[in-house]
A and B are shown apart, each in its own frame.
Chain A
């Protein structure tokens, strides 16, 4: 693996230049939402928002796949993992997410066979190696992880694996943006679209949204300079009254996206309505297995379809995910709710807004609270 590292996208002089330019052109308050959790994380980790003028508010969007996975899916995962003879394979992030009564890490400690994998294809391998066991993969994530999930299903089908299935909770970004924009509470005036999602899907889907709601949408990367440049391009549009779709992340994103990845997604999945944690049900915002591959659906295999679970009341993750409040406005933040004892998923995932604030900001927040 050849590696040229990312230092050039973290250069302090260039960051300052971009920040200065943003300061120079900003004349009014603007609210910009970065959609992706990875961007939220980079913003807080590198302190990017500290470099911005006070008039610019960054609103952290619902783009963390762990955070938006609804409680009922977590409960289903736990129920499947608890079954004898099951190997439950998941991305590491999902293990600490609290369900109604437990989480996957605790299930593992209690003797369930829960394994961390880096690729859904590793789960297919597990199924081939353990013909006497049922292997279930937890397929979560946005358009970024969906092609790999699709490929895993295709491989399992080619190999004729009868002991492999998936609990799927894949979600799609554009319907969520549309749902946010159509909410009467929406404060968002522009979006930084998620660079990795667009690497797969391209950005043609965003033209109608930008036009309909008159919002600038800038496809943006994840390094500090990417994000600063994305913000600069957004503010330029806002200040000049334009609302266009632009691509900051051109080194990775093409207008049409990755056509081969899209082909596999369309072959394996079909589009369905999905519940989002904190946002509720959004029409046509998720993926499930198409009829031809429905035999790999773990919900059907284990008879879990149609279950409904209520979200806990103390947690304001829903409001946070909509960008209506910041984590520090939650009374439970840092006291009742910490990464060790998370009330909601936004505190669990390393990409979650609350976790990012807790890791990088809590002292400033506590000090501010004391000063008040």
Chain B
């Protein structure tokens, strides 16, 4: 008696598709279901929930900071995090490096067809947790699905807006002779966590990434009136790249001491085996702060109150020079150039 239903709706709810299909990015019903049941549910907040083409929000007083970053890490899950939490922390950290309090994020997902739905959900929910931890809201987003083998599982882009509440300008050009260099903990963990998985290295215990938000100690340094001249997170290229960029921008010489730079023993060993330099390896929860030497002690005390920077330590100082450079006093007491890594880190033959 009933006419057959010709509406070609798949009877399965979205979460019952075990893998992401091209149709999830097609703009139709499956896209809608994916947005509602996964992204919308996880990231829900009043601004996002209006479901408009663009997010509308009020801005507090002060200067705004904005940044964007794309995350293509492979594998997408690693010890200590995943591509999702990293995409939130990474952008929050970039905002923090100009002294901004992070407020809002956008996120764009480029998903490779066939990604297990469970993996996507796990990543999205860890982004939600990461955003909560940083007290930021994800207020707009986008989803695209690309053909199998055109992506590496999942790429995520996040952009972020934050507010700079103080009047200090934090920038490389403000670094001055007499400043000291502080770092918030041991180096090389994120890069080696990824390398260890990619290269199938087995250690007694897995090397876990240091991926973490670093805005809290930074905001507290500012609140305490520490005169921060420059901050830089130590992502791709590691400490060596960051210091060289700053030396170049500020026209100064940075001298660091190898023996005071914290590198865990297992990281050291893994780097030796692969022929890599821990000072060139990427981090996701580490930064350097340039402050006047008179503020060093207090700055370290503040930084050490936060779990993410409990291992903070002074590693060097800034002086005048005619040729901008970074030098490193080696463990046996001789001095050499600490250079910018050139291109990709390529493992050595022997």
**Separation in Å of the B188 CB from the closest CB of chain A?**
14
- A199-237 Cβ-contact flags toward B at 8 Å (1 or 0): 000000000000000000000000010000000000000
Contact A351 B348 (CB under 8 A): yes
Contact A96 B346 (CB under 8 A): yes
Chain B: CB-nearest residue to A228:
B332
Interface assignment of B335: CB less than 8 Å from any CB of chain A: yes
- A37-50 Cβ-contact flags toward B at 8 Å (1 or 0): 01000001111101
Contact A46 B332 (CB under 8 A): yes
Q: How many A-B residue pairs have CB under 8 A?
A: 112
CA of A96 to CA of B349, assembled, Å: 13
Chain A interface size range: 35 or more
- A6-50 Cβ-contact flags toward B at 8 Å (1 or 0): 110011100110000000000000000000001000001111101
Contact of B347 among A15, A118, A340 (CB under 8 A): A118
Interface assignment of B272: CB less than 8 Å from any CB of chain A: yes
Contact B202 A1 (CB under 8 A): yes
Chain B interface size range: 20 to 34
The verdict on A3 contacting B266 (CB below 8 Å), with A118-B347, A141-B349, A367-B323 known, is yes
Which has the most chain A C-beta neighbours within 10 Å: B337, B344, B350? B350
Chain A: CB-nearest residue to B334:
A47
The verdict on A145 contacting B336 (CB below 8 Å), with A3-B265, A5-B265, A46-B331 known, is no
Interface assignment of A362: CB less than 8 Å from any CB of chain B: yes
Chain B: CB-nearest residue to A360:
B336
**Separation in Å of the B28 CB from the closest CB of chain A?**
33
Interface assignment of B325: CB less than 8 Å from any CB of chain A: yes
Which has the most chain B C-beta neighbours within 10 Å: A93, A95, A350? A350
Chain B: CB-nearest residue to A142:
B350
Interface assignment of B36: CB less than 8 Å from any CB of chain A: no
Interface assignment of B203: CB less than 8 Å from any CB of chain A: yes
Chain B: CB-nearest residue to A96:
B346
- A277-296 Cβ-contact flags toward B at 8 Å (1 or 0): 00000000000000000000
B residues within 8 A CB of A349?
348-349
**Separation in Å of the A292 CB from the closest CB of chain B?**
26
Interface assignment of A319: CB less than 8 Å from any CB of chain B: no
Q: 30 A-B pairs, CB-CB below 8 angstroms?
A: A1-B269, A3-B269, A6-B272, A7-B331, A12-B331, A15-B333, A16-B333, A38-B350, A45-B336, A46-B336, A47-B335, A50-B335, A51-B332, A65-B349, A65-B350, A66-B349, A92-B275, A92-B347, A93-B347, A93-B349, A96-B343, A96-B346, A116-B347, A144-B350, A224-B330, A349-B348, A349-B349, A360-B336, A362-B339, A363-B325
Q: 4 nearest interchain CB pairs?
A: A47-B334, A92-B346, A92-B347, A339-B342
